[in-house]
Structure 1
Amino acid sequence: MRKLCLLALLCSPLAMAQDVKVDTNSFMRLPNTASTLQLQRLDVADHATLLVPANVTELKVEQMHLGREARIAIVPTQQSLQLLVRHAQLDAGSQITSRGAPGTYEKTAKPGRNLNLRIESLDAQELSVDARGGAGAPGYVGLDGANGQEPGCTWGEAGRGADGDNGGNGHPGAAGGQVRLELPRDFPSEQIKVLVDGGAGGLAGVGGKPGAGGKSKGCLVYRTDGGKSGRPGAQGEPGAVGAAGSLTVQRL
Protein backbone atom coordinates (compact mmCIF):
# COMPACT_ATOMS: atom_id res chain seq x y z
CA MET A 1 0.00 0.00 0.00
CA ARG A 2 2.87 2.35 0.84
CA LYS A 3 4.40 1.84 -2.63
CA LEU A 4 1.05 2.60 -4.30
CA CYS A 5 0.78 5.83 -2.35
CA LEU A 6 4.32 6.73 -3.34
CA LEU A 7 3.49 6.15 -7.00
CA ALA A 8 0.45 8.39 -6.76
CA LEU A 9 2.46 11.17 -5.13
CA LEU A 10 5.18 11.05 -7.79
CA CYS A 11 3.07 11.65 -10.89
CA SER A 12 3.33 15.42 -11.37
CA PRO A 13 6.13 17.27 -13.26
CA LEU A 14 7.42 18.44 -9.85
CA ALA A 15 6.69 15.39 -7.73
CA MET A 16 6.54 15.70 -3.93
CA ALA A 17 6.26 13.02 -1.25
CA GLN A 18 6.57 13.20 2.53
CA ASP A 19 8.49 9.99 3.17
CA VAL A 20 10.11 7.23 1.14
CA LYS A 21 11.38 4.16 3.00
CA VAL A 22 13.20 1.16 1.52
CA ASP A 23 13.05 -1.81 3.88
CA THR A 24 16.06 -3.87 4.95
CA ASN A 25 17.46 -6.17 2.23
CA SER A 26 14.95 -4.89 -0.33
CA PHE A 27 14.96 -2.92 -3.57
CA MET A 28 12.83 0.02 -4.68
CA ARG A 29 12.78 1.99 -7.91
CA LEU A 30 11.56 5.56 -7.97
CA PRO A 31 8.84 6.16 -10.61
CA ASN A 32 10.05 7.62 -13.90
CA THR A 33 7.02 9.87 -14.39
CA ALA A 34 8.78 13.08 -13.32
CA SER A 35 12.22 14.56 -13.97
CA THR A 36 12.27 16.43 -10.64
CA LEU A 37 11.45 14.78 -7.32
CA GLN A 38 11.25 16.41 -3.90
CA LEU A 39 11.17 14.28 -0.74
CA GLN A 40 10.74 15.26 2.87
CA ARG A 41 12.53 12.17 4.17
CA LEU A 42 14.38 9.33 2.44
CA ASP A 43 15.30 6.28 4.52
CA VAL A 44 17.20 3.42 2.84
CA ALA A 45 17.60 0.69 5.45
CA ASP A 46 20.53 -1.69 5.96
CA HIS A 47 21.58 -3.60 2.82
CA ALA A 48 18.76 -2.01 0.79
CA THR A 49 18.93 -0.24 -2.58
CA LEU A 50 17.03 2.72 -4.03
CA LEU A 51 17.23 3.02 -7.83
CA VAL A 52 17.03 6.48 -9.41
CA PRO A 53 15.77 6.21 -13.05
CA ALA A 54 17.59 7.75 -15.99
CA ASN A 55 14.95 10.44 -16.63
CA VAL A 56 15.28 11.93 -13.12
CA THR A 57 17.60 14.93 -13.35
CA GLU A 58 16.97 16.56 -9.97
CA LEU A 59 16.28 14.98 -6.60
CA LYS A 60 15.79 17.16 -3.52
CA VAL A 61 15.73 15.59 -0.06
CA GLU A 62 15.24 17.34 3.28
CA GLN A 63 16.34 14.40 5.49
CA MET A 64 18.26 11.43 4.09
CA HIS A 65 19.42 8.33 5.96
CA LEU A 66 21.40 5.47 4.41
CA GLY A 67 21.78 2.39 6.60
CA ARG A 68 24.72 -0.01 6.73
CA GLU A 69 25.75 -1.14 3.22
CA ALA A 70 22.76 0.75 1.78
CA ARG A 71 22.89 2.06 -1.79
CA ILE A 72 21.46 4.82 -3.89
CA ALA A 73 22.01 3.48 -7.41
CA ILE A 74 21.69 6.01 -10.26
CA VAL A 75 20.95 4.69 -13.75
CA PRO A 76 23.61 5.88 -16.25
CA THR A 77 22.61 8.33 -18.95
CA GLN A 78 24.04 11.39 -20.71
CA GLN A 79 22.06 13.81 -18.52
CA SER A 80 23.67 14.74 -15.21
CA LEU A 81 21.84 14.37 -11.89
CA GLN A 82 21.47 17.10 -9.28
CA LEU A 83 21.14 15.54 -5.82
CA LEU A 84 20.43 18.21 -3.21
CA VAL A 85 20.25 17.15 0.45
CA ARG A 86 19.55 19.38 3.45
CA HIS A 87 20.77 16.85 6.06
CA ALA A 88 22.29 13.41 5.48
CA GLN A 89 23.16 10.60 7.90
CA LEU A 90 25.28 7.90 6.26
CA ASP A 91 26.03 4.66 8.10
CA ALA A 92 29.10 2.47 7.56
CA GLY A 93 29.47 0.98 4.09
CA SER A 94 26.72 3.06 2.50
CA GLN A 95 27.34 4.43 -0.98
CA ILE A 96 25.95 6.58 -3.76
CA THR A 97 26.77 4.98 -7.10
CA SER A 98 26.39 6.39 -10.60
CA ARG A 99 28.55 3.79 -12.35
CA GLY A 100 28.39 3.27 -16.08
CA ALA A 101 27.05 0.06 -17.60
CA PRO A 102 29.38 -2.62 -19.01
CA GLY A 103 29.42 -3.17 -22.77
CA THR A 104 27.95 -6.18 -24.49
CA TYR A 105 28.27 -7.63 -27.99
CA GLU A 106 25.25 -5.49 -28.96
CA LYS A 107 25.91 -2.28 -26.97
CA THR A 108 28.95 -0.17 -26.15
CA ALA A 109 29.90 0.50 -22.55
CA LYS A 110 28.25 3.51 -20.86
CA PRO A 111 30.22 6.15 -18.95
CA GLY A 112 29.64 6.98 -15.32
CA ARG A 113 26.78 9.44 -14.91
CA ASN A 114 27.77 13.00 -14.09
CA LEU A 115 26.68 13.89 -10.55
CA ASN A 116 26.32 17.19 -8.74
CA LEU A 117 25.88 16.37 -5.04
CA ARG A 118 25.16 19.08 -2.46
CA ILE A 119 24.83 18.15 1.22
CA GLU A 120 24.37 21.06 3.60
CA SER A 121 24.66 19.04 6.84
CA LEU A 122 26.49 15.70 6.90
CA ASP A 123 26.80 13.11 9.66
CA ALA A 124 29.02 10.28 8.40
CA GLN A 125 32.30 8.48 8.97
CA GLU A 126 32.74 8.38 5.20
CA LEU A 127 31.09 9.73 2.06
CA SER A 128 31.50 7.13 -0.69
CA VAL A 129 30.63 7.86 -4.32
CA ASP A 130 31.30 5.48 -7.22
CA ALA A 131 31.10 7.00 -10.71
CA ARG A 132 33.42 4.66 -12.60
CA GLY A 133 32.91 3.96 -16.27
CA GLY A 134 31.53 0.68 -17.56
CA ALA A 135 33.87 -2.07 -18.69
CA GLY A 136 34.31 -2.59 -22.44
CA ALA A 137 32.74 -5.52 -24.23
CA PRO A 138 34.97 -8.54 -24.90
CA GLY A 139 36.26 -9.29 -28.38
CA TYR A 140 34.55 -11.90 -30.51
CA VAL A 141 35.82 -15.46 -30.34
CA GLY A 142 37.40 -16.57 -33.62
CA LEU A 143 35.64 -19.25 -35.65
CA ASP A 144 37.11 -22.75 -35.58
CA GLY A 145 38.78 -24.01 -38.74
CA ALA A 146 37.05 -26.73 -40.81
CA ASN A 147 38.43 -30.26 -40.75
CA GLY A 148 40.33 -31.53 -43.78
CA GLN A 149 38.66 -33.87 -46.26
CA GLU A 150 39.29 -37.58 -45.88
CA PRO A 151 40.93 -39.41 -48.84
CA GLY A 152 39.41 -42.14 -50.97
CA CYS A 153 40.98 -45.55 -51.67
CA THR A 154 41.46 -44.88 -55.38
CA TRP A 155 42.08 -41.13 -55.47
CA GLY A 156 43.60 -38.13 -53.80
CA GLU A 157 45.16 -37.48 -50.45
CA ALA A 158 43.87 -36.32 -47.08
CA GLY A 159 43.01 -32.65 -46.97
CA ARG A 160 44.70 -30.17 -44.62
CA GLY A 161 42.64 -28.70 -41.79
CA ALA A 162 41.70 -25.04 -42.15
CA ASP A 163 43.21 -22.39 -39.88
CA GLY A 164 41.14 -20.98 -37.05
CA ASP A 165 40.06 -17.34 -37.35
CA ASN A 166 41.77 -14.72 -35.22
CA GLY A 167 39.94 -13.52 -32.12
CA GLY A 168 38.52 -9.99 -32.12
CA ASN A 169 39.94 -7.10 -30.12
CA GLY A 170 38.31 -6.12 -26.84
CA HIS A 171 36.30 -2.87 -26.88
CA PRO A 172 37.43 0.19 -24.90
CA GLY A 173 36.05 0.92 -21.46
CA ALA A 174 33.81 3.94 -20.95
CA ALA A 175 34.88 7.15 -19.25
CA GLY A 176 34.39 7.86 -15.57
CA GLY A 177 31.79 10.42 -14.50
CA GLN A 178 32.24 14.08 -13.68
CA VAL A 179 31.49 14.48 -9.96
CA ARG A 180 31.01 17.79 -8.19
CA LEU A 181 30.58 17.82 -4.41
CA GLU A 182 29.38 20.71 -2.26
CA LEU A 183 29.95 19.74 1.37
CA PRO A 184 30.12 21.35 4.81
CA ARG A 185 33.41 23.07 5.52
CA ASP A 186 34.09 20.94 8.61
CA PHE A 187 33.70 17.53 6.91
CA PRO A 188 37.24 16.01 6.72
CA SER A 189 38.71 15.59 3.26
CA GLU A 190 40.19 12.20 4.16
CA GLN A 191 36.66 10.88 4.70
CA ILE A 192 35.66 11.63 1.10
CA LYS A 193 36.02 8.53 -1.08
CA VAL A 194 35.14 9.09 -4.74
CA LEU A 195 35.93 6.76 -7.67
CA VAL A 196 35.92 8.23 -11.18
CA ASP A 197 38.20 5.72 -12.96
CA GLY A 198 37.55 4.80 -16.56
CA GLY A 199 36.11 1.35 -17.22
CA ALA A 200 38.41 -1.59 -17.82
CA GLY A 201 39.06 -2.54 -21.43
CA GLY A 202 37.24 -5.57 -22.81
CA LEU A 203 38.95 -8.93 -22.76
CA ALA A 204 40.70 -10.09 -25.91
CA GLY A 205 38.79 -12.54 -28.06
CA VAL A 206 40.16 -16.08 -28.10
CA GLY A 207 41.42 -17.39 -31.43
CA GLY A 208 39.52 -20.16 -33.20
CA LYS A 209 40.63 -23.77 -32.91
CA PRO A 210 42.48 -25.30 -35.85
CA GLY A 211 40.72 -27.72 -38.11
CA ALA A 212 41.95 -31.31 -37.96
CA GLY A 213 43.56 -32.81 -41.05
CA GLY A 214 41.82 -35.61 -42.90
CA LYS A 215 42.42 -38.97 -41.22
CA SER A 216 44.71 -41.59 -42.74
CA LYS A 217 42.99 -44.44 -44.49
CA GLY A 218 44.17 -48.00 -45.09
CA CYS A 219 43.02 -49.63 -48.35
CA LEU A 220 43.53 -53.01 -50.06
CA VAL A 221 46.23 -51.73 -52.39
CA TYR A 222 47.84 -48.84 -50.50
CA ARG A 223 47.48 -46.61 -47.42
CA THR A 224 46.85 -42.87 -47.56
CA ASP A 225 48.57 -40.64 -44.99
CA GLY A 226 46.53 -38.27 -42.86
CA GLY A 227 46.46 -34.55 -43.64
CA LYS A 228 48.05 -31.85 -41.51
CA SER A 229 46.00 -29.89 -39.02
CA GLY A 230 45.49 -26.14 -39.52
CA ARG A 231 46.91 -23.41 -37.35
CA PRO A 232 45.01 -21.95 -34.37
CA GLY A 233 43.78 -18.39 -34.72
CA ALA A 234 45.64 -15.65 -32.90
CA GLN A 235 44.18 -14.07 -29.80
CA GLY A 236 42.92 -10.50 -30.21
CA GLU A 237 44.18 -7.46 -28.32
CA PRO A 238 42.60 -6.32 -25.03
CA GLY A 239 40.56 -3.12 -25.15
CA ALA A 240 41.86 0.22 -23.89
CA VAL A 241 40.97 1.51 -20.43
CA GLY A 242 38.41 4.32 -20.47
CA ALA A 243 39.36 7.90 -19.67
CA ALA A 244 39.18 8.94 -16.02
CA GLY A 245 36.46 11.34 -14.93
CA SER A 246 36.97 14.29 -12.61
CA LEU A 247 36.22 15.34 -9.03
CA THR A 248 35.55 18.85 -7.80
CA VAL A 249 34.97 19.59 -4.09
CA GLN A 250 33.53 22.91 -2.93
CA ARG A 251 33.08 23.80 0.71
CA LEU A 252 29.89 25.42 1.97
Structure 2
Amino acid sequence: MRRLLLLATLCSPMALAQALIEVESHALLRLPATTDVLLVERLSIADNGTLMVPAGLTEIRVSELRLGRDARIAIAPSERPFRLHVGRGEIAPGAQISARGASGSRLKQSLPGRTLSIRLENVTTDALIVDARGSAGAPGYVGLDGADGKAGGCAWGQASRGHDGQNGGDGQTGTAGGRVRVEVPQAFPLERLQIRLDGGAGGPAGEGGSGGSGGASTGCWLYSADGAADGRPGQTGRAGAQGAAGDLDLVRF
Protein backbone atom coordinates (compact mmCIF):
# COMPACT_ATOMS: atom_id res chain seq x y z
CA MET A 1 0.00 0.00 0.00
CA ARG A 2 2.82 2.36 0.89
CA ARG A 3 4.47 1.77 -2.48
CA LEU A 4 1.21 2.59 -4.28
CA LEU A 5 0.96 5.84 -2.35
CA LEU A 6 4.51 6.72 -3.35
CA LEU A 7 3.75 6.09 -7.01
CA ALA A 8 0.62 8.21 -6.76
CA THR A 9 2.70 11.02 -5.31
CA LEU A 10 5.21 10.76 -8.15
CA CYS A 11 2.43 10.99 -10.71
CA SER A 12 1.45 14.42 -9.35
CA PRO A 13 3.57 17.16 -10.94
CA MET A 14 2.93 19.50 -7.99
CA ALA A 15 4.46 16.99 -5.53
CA LEU A 16 7.54 15.93 -7.47
CA ALA A 17 9.91 18.23 -5.60
CA GLN A 18 8.87 16.77 -2.21
CA ALA A 19 8.58 13.09 -3.15
CA LEU A 20 10.11 10.39 -0.97
CA ILE A 21 11.14 7.24 -2.85
CA GLU A 22 12.06 4.12 -0.90
CA VAL A 23 12.99 0.72 -2.32
CA GLU A 24 13.05 -2.15 0.15
CA SER A 25 15.78 -4.76 0.36
CA HIS A 26 15.73 -7.24 -2.58
CA ALA A 27 12.78 -5.36 -4.08
CA LEU A 28 12.34 -3.65 -7.45
CA LEU A 29 10.51 -0.38 -8.02
CA ARG A 30 9.83 1.03 -11.46
CA LEU A 31 9.35 4.78 -11.78
CA PRO A 32 6.32 5.91 -13.79
CA ALA A 33 6.99 7.43 -17.20
CA THR A 34 5.02 10.62 -16.59
CA THR A 35 7.67 13.33 -16.80
CA ASP A 36 11.07 14.13 -18.29
CA VAL A 37 12.53 15.58 -15.06
CA LEU A 38 12.03 14.16 -11.56
CA LEU A 39 12.85 16.14 -8.40
CA VAL A 40 13.31 13.95 -5.33
CA GLU A 41 13.86 15.12 -1.77
CA ARG A 42 15.09 11.75 -0.52
CA LEU A 43 15.88 8.58 -2.45
CA SER A 44 16.69 5.47 -0.43
CA ILE A 45 17.44 2.06 -1.97
CA ALA A 46 18.11 -0.70 0.56
CA ASP A 47 20.59 -3.57 0.16
CA ASN A 48 20.13 -5.42 -3.15
CA GLY A 49 17.20 -3.21 -4.10
CA THR A 50 16.74 -1.88 -7.64
CA LEU A 51 15.17 1.33 -8.92
CA MET A 52 14.17 1.11 -12.60
CA VAL A 53 14.31 4.38 -14.54
CA PRO A 54 12.21 4.45 -17.76
CA ALA A 55 13.72 5.51 -21.07
CA GLY A 56 11.66 8.69 -21.27
CA LEU A 57 13.05 10.13 -18.03
CA THR A 58 16.06 12.33 -18.83
CA GLU A 59 16.97 13.89 -15.47
CA ILE A 60 16.71 13.10 -11.77
CA ARG A 61 17.71 15.63 -9.12
CA VAL A 62 18.11 14.14 -5.64
CA SER A 63 18.64 16.22 -2.52
CA GLU A 64 19.59 13.19 -0.39
CA LEU A 65 20.62 9.76 -1.72
CA ARG A 66 21.11 6.52 0.21
CA LEU A 67 22.28 3.44 -1.69
CA GLY A 68 22.66 0.21 0.28
CA ARG A 69 25.07 -2.62 -0.39
CA ASP A 70 24.66 -3.93 -3.97
CA ALA A 71 21.78 -1.51 -4.54
CA ARG A 72 21.24 -0.42 -8.11
CA ILE A 73 19.80 2.43 -10.15
CA ALA A 74 19.02 0.82 -13.52
CA ILE A 75 18.53 3.36 -16.32
CA ALA A 76 16.74 2.07 -19.42
CA PRO A 77 18.56 2.31 -22.77
CA SER A 78 17.73 5.33 -24.89
CA GLU A 79 19.30 7.61 -27.49
CA ARG A 80 18.51 10.59 -25.23
CA PRO A 81 21.13 11.69 -22.64
CA PHE A 82 20.40 11.22 -18.93
CA ARG A 83 21.52 13.42 -16.03
CA LEU A 84 21.69 12.54 -12.31
CA HIS A 85 22.38 15.34 -9.80
CA VAL A 86 22.94 14.34 -6.15
CA GLY A 87 23.22 16.96 -3.42
CA ARG A 88 24.38 14.74 -0.57
CA GLY A 89 24.41 11.04 0.10
CA GLU A 90 25.98 7.81 1.26
CA ILE A 91 26.77 4.93 -1.08
CA ALA A 92 27.61 1.45 0.26
CA PRO A 93 30.06 -0.99 -1.39
CA GLY A 94 28.77 -2.77 -4.49
CA ALA A 95 26.19 -0.12 -5.34
CA GLN A 96 25.96 0.81 -8.98
CA ILE A 97 24.39 3.05 -11.55
CA SER A 98 23.68 0.97 -14.64
CA ALA A 99 22.92 2.38 -18.08
CA ARG A 100 23.94 -0.44 -20.40
CA GLY A 101 22.96 -0.73 -24.03
CA ALA A 102 20.25 -3.03 -25.36
CA SER A 103 20.75 -5.92 -27.75
CA GLY A 104 18.84 -5.78 -30.98
CA SER A 105 17.80 -8.24 -33.64
CA ARG A 106 17.42 -8.32 -37.41
CA LEU A 107 14.19 -6.37 -36.92
CA LYS A 108 15.19 -4.08 -34.04
CA GLN A 109 18.16 -1.74 -33.82
CA SER A 110 20.67 -2.30 -31.02
CA LEU A 111 21.32 0.60 -28.62
CA PRO A 112 24.70 1.65 -27.20
CA GLY A 113 25.41 2.43 -23.57
CA ARG A 114 23.48 5.54 -22.60
CA THR A 115 25.02 8.99 -22.49
CA LEU A 116 25.25 9.95 -18.80
CA SER A 117 26.06 13.06 -16.82
CA ILE A 118 26.45 12.45 -13.07
CA ARG A 119 27.13 15.20 -10.52
CA LEU A 120 27.95 14.15 -6.94
CA GLU A 121 28.29 17.08 -4.56
CA ASN A 122 28.57 15.96 -0.94
CA VAL A 123 28.63 12.18 -1.31
CA THR A 124 30.64 9.58 0.61
CA THR A 125 31.33 6.13 -0.83
CA ASP A 126 33.80 3.26 -0.60
CA ALA A 127 33.16 2.29 -4.22
CA LEU A 128 30.61 3.29 -6.83
CA ILE A 129 30.21 1.36 -10.08
CA VAL A 130 28.96 3.21 -13.16
CA ASP A 131 28.17 0.66 -15.85
CA ALA A 132 27.53 2.06 -19.33
CA ARG A 133 28.83 -0.83 -21.41
CA GLY A 134 27.54 -1.49 -24.89
CA SER A 135 25.38 -4.46 -25.80
CA ALA A 136 26.15 -7.56 -27.82
CA GLY A 137 25.53 -7.44 -31.55
CA ALA A 138 22.62 -9.34 -33.04
CA PRO A 139 23.43 -12.88 -34.27
CA GLY A 140 23.74 -13.66 -37.95
CA TYR A 141 20.79 -15.39 -39.58
CA VAL A 142 20.85 -19.14 -40.14
CA GLY A 143 21.13 -20.11 -43.80
CA LEU A 144 18.24 -21.95 -45.44
CA ASP A 145 18.58 -25.65 -46.16
CA GLY A 146 18.97 -26.67 -49.77
CA ALA A 147 16.07 -28.40 -51.51
CA ASP A 148 16.29 -32.12 -52.23
CA GLY A 149 16.96 -33.38 -55.75
CA LYS A 150 14.40 -35.37 -57.74
CA ALA A 151 14.62 -39.09 -58.29
CA GLY A 152 15.09 -40.49 -61.79
CA GLY A 153 12.06 -41.86 -63.61
CA CYS A 154 11.45 -45.45 -64.73
CA ALA A 155 10.92 -44.48 -68.39
CA TRP A 156 13.36 -41.65 -68.92
CA GLY A 157 15.23 -38.86 -67.12
CA GLN A 158 17.88 -38.91 -64.46
CA ALA A 159 18.07 -38.02 -60.81
CA SER A 160 18.92 -34.38 -60.03
CA ARG A 161 21.54 -33.19 -57.60
CA GLY A 162 20.52 -31.79 -54.23
CA HIS A 163 20.63 -27.99 -53.98
CA ASP A 164 23.33 -26.28 -51.92
CA GLY A 165 22.50 -24.86 -48.50
CA GLN A 166 22.49 -21.10 -48.09
CA ASN A 167 25.42 -19.43 -46.34
CA GLY A 168 24.86 -18.17 -42.79
CA GLY A 169 24.75 -14.43 -42.16
CA ASP A 170 27.44 -12.41 -40.40
CA GLY A 171 26.95 -11.37 -36.80
CA GLN A 172 26.44 -7.64 -36.22
CA THR A 173 29.01 -5.41 -34.55
CA GLY A 174 28.51 -4.90 -30.81
CA THR A 175 27.25 -1.47 -29.76
CA ALA A 176 29.56 1.16 -28.32
CA GLY A 177 29.95 1.96 -24.65
CA GLY A 178 28.26 5.09 -23.37
CA ARG A 179 29.61 8.61 -23.09
CA VAL A 180 29.90 9.40 -19.37
CA ARG A 181 30.64 12.69 -17.63
CA VAL A 182 31.22 12.58 -13.87
CA GLU A 183 31.47 15.79 -11.82
CA VAL A 184 32.88 15.47 -8.28
CA PRO A 185 34.43 17.85 -5.71
CA GLN A 186 38.19 18.43 -5.66
CA ALA A 187 38.60 16.25 -2.54
CA PHE A 188 36.66 13.28 -3.92
CA PRO A 189 38.88 10.15 -4.23
CA LEU A 190 38.66 9.16 -7.87
CA GLU A 191 39.94 5.64 -7.15
CA ARG A 192 36.57 4.90 -5.60
CA LEU A 193 34.87 5.24 -8.96
CA GLN A 194 34.68 2.20 -11.24
CA ILE A 195 33.55 3.28 -14.71
CA ARG A 196 32.76 0.51 -17.22
CA LEU A 197 32.61 1.66 -20.82
CA ASP A 198 33.53 -1.44 -22.84
CA GLY A 199 31.89 -1.95 -26.20
CA GLY A 200 29.57 -4.93 -26.59
CA ALA A 201 30.71 -8.26 -27.96
CA GLY A 202 30.13 -8.98 -31.63
CA GLY A 203 27.12 -11.07 -32.54
CA PRO A 204 27.71 -14.78 -33.20
CA ALA A 205 27.94 -16.03 -36.77
CA GLY A 206 24.94 -17.65 -38.38
CA GLU A 207 25.20 -21.35 -39.24
CA GLY A 208 25.06 -22.40 -42.86
CA GLY A 209 22.08 -24.35 -44.14
CA SER A 210 22.30 -28.09 -44.82
CA GLY A 211 22.68 -29.30 -48.37
CA GLY A 212 19.71 -30.99 -49.96
CA SER A 213 19.72 -34.74 -50.53
CA GLY A 214 20.44 -35.92 -54.04
CA GLY A 215 17.73 -37.62 -56.05
CA ALA A 216 17.41 -41.32 -55.24
CA SER A 217 18.37 -44.05 -57.68
CA THR A 218 15.60 -46.05 -59.28
CA GLY A 219 15.58 -49.64 -60.40
CA CYS A 220 12.79 -50.50 -62.82
CA TRP A 221 12.10 -53.51 -65.02
CA LEU A 222 13.16 -51.86 -68.28
CA TYR A 223 15.15 -48.85 -67.11
CA SER A 224 17.19 -47.75 -64.10
CA ALA A 225 18.77 -44.41 -63.10
CA ASP A 226 21.69 -43.71 -60.83
CA GLY A 227 21.26 -41.55 -57.74
CA ALA A 228 22.54 -37.93 -57.73
CA ALA A 229 24.98 -36.25 -55.36
CA ASP A 230 23.87 -34.33 -52.29
CA GLY A 231 24.10 -30.53 -52.26
CA ARG A 232 26.90 -28.80 -50.39
CA PRO A 233 26.18 -27.32 -46.95
CA GLY A 234 26.29 -23.54 -46.70
CA GLN A 235 29.23 -21.83 -45.09
CA THR A 236 29.09 -20.36 -41.59
CA GLY A 237 29.05 -16.56 -41.52
CA ARG A 238 31.56 -14.39 -39.71
CA ALA A 239 31.28 -13.30 -36.09
CA GLY A 240 30.60 -9.59 -35.55
CA ALA A 241 33.31 -7.20 -34.40
CA GLN A 242 33.67 -5.86 -30.85
CA GLY A 243 31.91 -2.55 -30.28
CA ALA A 244 33.93 0.61 -29.62
CA ALA A 245 34.69 1.66 -26.05
CA GLY A 246 32.83 4.65 -24.64
CA ASP A 247 34.18 8.02 -23.55
CA LEU A 248 34.81 9.30 -20.01
CA ASP A 249 35.01 12.92 -18.91
CA LEU A 250 35.99 13.47 -15.24
CA VAL A 251 35.46 16.99 -13.93
CA ARG A 252 36.43 18.37 -10.51
CA PHE A 253 34.67 21.41 -9.14
TM-score normalised by the chain length of structure 1: 0.93
Residue correspondences, number: 252
Query: For the Cα contact (< 8 Å) 2:168–2:207, is it kept in 1?
Result: yes
- Offset, 1:123: 2.1
* Amino acid across the alignment from 2:191: E
Distance 1:23 1:211 in 2: 58
1:200 correspondence with 2:178: no
Which moves more between the two structures, 1-10 or 200-209? 1-10
Partner of 1:16, secondary structure, is helix
What residue identity is the alignment partner of 2:205? Answer: A
* Matched-pair contact (CA < 8 Å) for 2:6–2:19: no
Match of 1:171 in 2: 172
Residue 77 of structure 1 corresponds to 78
Task: Give secondary structure in 2 for the equivalent of 1:9.
Answer: helix
Kindly indicate whether the alpha-carbon contact (under 8 Å) linking 1:122 and 1:184 is maintained by their aligned counterparts in 2: no
Name the residue aligned to 1:7.
7
Q: Separation in 2 of the partners of 1:165 and 1:17?
A: 61
- Unaligned ranges ≥5, structure 1: none
CA deviation after TM superposition for structure 1 residue 187, in Å: 3.0
| Residue 122 of structure 1: aligned partner | 123
What is the alpha-carbon root mean square deviation over aligned residues? 1.7
Gaps of 5+ in 2: none
Q: Does residue 1:188 correspond to 2:189, yes or no?
A: yes
In structure 2, the residue matched to 1:162 is: 163
* Residue 236 (1) aligns with residue 237 (2): yes
Q: 1:54 Cα shift?
A: 1.4
**Structure 2 CA distance, aligned partners of 1:16 and 1:31?**
15
SS in 2 for 1:152: coil
What TM-score do you get using the length of structure 2 for normalisation?
A: 0.93
- Verify the 8 A CA contact 1:10 1:34 in the aligned structure 2: no
Deviations 1:28-47 (A, max 9, x none): 11111111111121111222
Deviations 1:89-119 (A, max 9, x none): 2222221011110111211110111111011
Distance across 2 between alignment mates of 1:213 and 1:118: 67
Partner of 1:216: 217
Alpha-carbon distance between aligned partners in 1 of 2:200 and 2:113, rounded to the nearest angstrom: 9
Cα distance in structure 2, aligned partners of 1:188 and 1:58:
25
CA apart distance, 1:239: 2.0
Task: Please say if residues 6 and 17 of structure 1, whose CA atoms lie closer than 8 Å, have aligned partners that are also in contact.
Answer: no
